[in-house]
Chains A and B, each alone.
Chain A
Amino acid sequence: MKAINTKTPYLFIAPALLLLGLFSLFPIVVALVISFTDISLEGLGDWSMIHFVGLENYIQVFKDPIFMKSLFNTLFYVVIGVPLVIVCSLAIALLINFGKSRIFRAFRVIFYMPSITNVVAVAVVWSYLYNPQLGLFNYVLNWLHLPPVPWLTDPNMSKVSLIALAVWRGIGVNMIIFLAALQGIPKTYYEAAQLDGATNWKQLTKITLPLLRYAIFFVSITTMIGWLQFFEEPLVMTKGGPLDSTTSVALFIYRNGFQLSNFGYAAAGSFILFIAIIIITLLQFRLQKKEVDY
């Protein structure tokens, strides 16, 4: 056998690793460093304008009422949005899996469609549907003799409207994961249960749901991380308004970083988000482990 040149594998991985290092690993270090400085637009041109400020950014950001508001909004999105997405996508996956005919495959495509389409296009279309005068939604409400809803103009309603859009977009991917998990359950379990005369409901609660536990766990972790980074929908649809009622932490970071050019301040905000994501994920793993013990 001819000996392989020991350099070859490194040549193969070098381009990808260099790019990942430069644009993914190194930036973490940079983010941490600049979060302790007052770097802004002036600092970009003249490095002597950058000063070490210690924990000042972190202290300031917790005193910032808009940051606290965005933190609250993000929690609201997670608490309402995540369970909604999981329940909807699981229900749809169960229904599709229940169907025997080939037509049910078409439903997979239909429910999956929103998740691959462009977020800007989707936000533009939904802004039209939500329009108080011209929008389809208020027209239908009017037709049903119901009062109009101030979808995006009311500070409380706007959050709900954005969640509705994001749930619509989020169902597809999770539904596919649930379907894959459902197909992995051996048919013999159900056959045995049917012989014992178990009803559909019994089969669902005693066989399907327990066996889906890992899929549900996986989906809830990924969905929660996704919602903690909720960003594009409020950016395009409401720009965080009205009265910052839809500003998420991610949007707060973006705004401070790229519109106000307070890079250090925004980096501190992003690290707080990062730490929150890690803590919540670890917490979920801990809870999951406890469940297994029982």
Chain B
Amino acid sequence: MTAIKAKTKTNASVKARRTASGQQWVTGIILALGGFLVSIPFIWMILSAFKPEMEVMQIPPTFLPHEFTLENFTNLFENMNFTVYLRNTIIVVLCSFAGLFLNAMAGYAFAKYQFKGREKLFYLVLATMMIPGQVTMIPVYLILNQLHLTNTMAGIVLPGLVGAFSIFLFRQFMSTIPDELLEAARLDGASEFRVFIQIILPISKPILAVQGILTFIAGWNSFLWPLIIANDEKLYTLSVGLSLLKGQYGGNFALQMAGSTFMVVPIVIIFMLFQKHIIEGYTISGMK
């Protein structure tokens, strides 16, 4: 069809189209170069992770590993405590999903119920978004210390369990669900909690997917709070373990690159699989 259109048009428009396609090529090339530059740290990290320690120290550096090895990775799990760190990180991620559920509940109540103080409480929730982490960091530590929760998993997980932004997004999404649907379920005798579980949550799948992925990423990457609260290596997450590794094995870059690769690659895979949802989630949340 485009071919026919092109034929019927004048020479000038063909020319315009050619310059347009030329511009497209230039744009593509600039972006490809930029994209390559942006990816260099990742490429270098992954390639170095599979080199033996000797090869990483070599000058001039090799691009592809001459001698491909998995030694660095086995080293992380056999001689460092990466198995423990991995387990802790997974616990943190699972707990943050419980937090997501609490956020969804709160978002639902703010969206679908009329109750006294609803507006004021919601503004209070939004206000917490503006408080910088540095201000609450010390008091939260002191509060947890008073509750005897420092150096426990609960202390690591509890402060980050719910988030105002997540509640806000759930509320935005759930306020679009028609009331008739809820009335019908109530007439059938469903309890309020059942309405939430069996009707609201299944309808909210898109927003749950977006927030689920973001929750996973945040949990997997959690660093500062575990660093502050955990004194015992048994409670370290992968990020904390990795920063410890950097301190202790500062010279062994092959090992550090393996640790970094182990942290980054799962996120990259998840991101690749779900990138459409994540980017859409950001566009919804970013502009409203």
Contact = CB atoms under 8 A, between A and B. Distances in A.
Interface of A: 1-2, 4-6, 8-10, 12-13, 15-17, 19-20, 22-28, 30-31, 34, 39, 44, 92, 95-96, 98-101, 103-104, 107-114, 116-129, 131, 133-134, 136, 139, 168, 171, 173, 176-177, 179-181, 184, 200, 215, 218, 225, 228-229, 231-232, 236, 249-250, 253-254, 257-258, 263, 266-267, 270-271, 273-274, 277
B77 interface: no
A168 B42 CA distance: 12
6 contacts: A119-B221, A120-B239, A121-B259, A125-B260, A136-B61, A184-B287
Nearest to B150: A44
Given A118-B220, A254-B137, A129 B44 contact: yes
A101 B25 CA distance: 10
B264 interface: yes
Contacts of A176: 279, 282-283, 286
A32 B271 CA distance: 40
Contacts of A99: 24, 27-28, 31
Contacts of B173: none
B260 A109 contact: no
A25 B257 contact: no
B142 interface: yes
A290 B246 CA distance: 49
Contacts of B137: 253-254, 257, 270
Contact of B192 (A4, A101, A104, A123): A4
Contact of B282 (A127, A173, A225, A273): A173
Interface stretch (B1-9, B52-60, B65-73, B204-212): B52-60
A277 B132 contact: yes
Contacts, number: 283
Contacts of B240: 120
B125 interface: yes
B268 A117 contact: yes
B282 A266 contact: no
Interface string B36-54: 0011111011001000000
**DSSP class of B's interface residues: helix, strand, loop or mixed?**
helix
Contact of A17 (B113, B121, B132, B221): B121
A19 B102 contact: yes
B183 A9 contact: no
B74 interface: no
A30 B162 CA distance: 20
B263 interface: yes
A177 B280 CA distance: 10
Contact of B143 (A30, A125, A266): A30
Nearest to A6: B115
Nearest to B114: A9
Interface residues of B, number: 94
B113 A9 contact: yes
B109 A9 contact: yes
Interface string B176-213: 00000001001100001000100000000000000000
Interface in B225-284: 228, 238-240, 242-243, 245-246, 253, 256-257, 259-261, 263-264, 267-268, 271-272, 275, 278-279, 282-283
A134 B275 CA distance: 34
B275 A16 contact: no
B217 interface: yes
B41 A126 contact: yes
Interface in B1-34: 23-24, 27-28, 30-32, 34
A99 B25 CA distance: 9
B264 A118 contact: yes
Contacts of B238: 118
A16 B167 contact: yes
A236 to B, nearest CB: 6
B187 A27 contact: no
Given A22-B143, A128-B257, A95 B27 contact: yes
B103 A180 contact: no
Contact of A16 (B23, B28, B113, B162): B162
B39 A8 contact: no
Contact of B138 (A6, A34, A129, A236): A34
B80 interface: no
Contact of B223 (A5, A120, A229, A266): A120
A209 B110 CA distance: 37
B106 interface: yes
